[in-house]
Amino acid sequence: MAKEGRVGKKGLRRKGSDPSNYPDHRRRDLRSSHRSLSPKSRRIVGRIPRNKWKAVESHLSLTCLRMVREKPGTSPCCMDAHWYQGSVKVVACDSQRSADTYKQATSKLGEVCEGENIVALDWCNVPI
């Protein structure tokens, strides 16, 4: 005779682990809590999404080129380091002049997406 239940990583599970077998009042609580969490987890307020970052990078590079034409000297070198906590872009600069140029360029950009501005911070000032 075959046992009823779902098959998981460790084999057969009890029938009670399926949320559809919970009493109605508990099932209702699970659904309501899940519903209230899902919209909040999808929304990131005040952050520029990853898919729009390429446009921001192109605007930054054009702004940096204009600034270098105005004040000639060594060319700034800033590289993409990684994403911190999935939503903060980290950029590494090789010299203090590069970092200053990058900060000035971000301040000149203004609004890059609807209602969103870019702010360049030192690593010690990045919010956790």
| Cα(17)–Cα(31) distance, integer angstroms | 16
Strand-strand pairing, 88-93 and 111-113: unpaired
Question: pTM for the complete prediction?
Answer: 0.52
Q: Where are the domains of the chain?
A: 15-42, 50-125
Coil, strand or helix: which one is 111?
strand
Please enumerate in sequence order all residues whose Cβ is within 8 A of that of 7, keeping only pairs 6 or more positions apart, or say none: 13
Query: Can you spell out the DSSP letters for 19-68?
Result: GGGS-HHHHHHHHHHHHHHHHHHH--TT---GGGHHHHHHHHHHHHHHHH
pLDDT digit string, tens, across residues 29-80: 444 333 333 333 334 445 667 777 778 888 888 888 888 888 877 777 777 7
Read off the tokens for 87: 């939503």
Answer whether 84's CB lies under 8 Å from 126's CB: yes
75: number of CA atoms within 13 Å, CB side?
A: 5
- Among 21-25, 82-86, 92-96, which stretch is predicted with the lowest mean pLDDT? 21-25
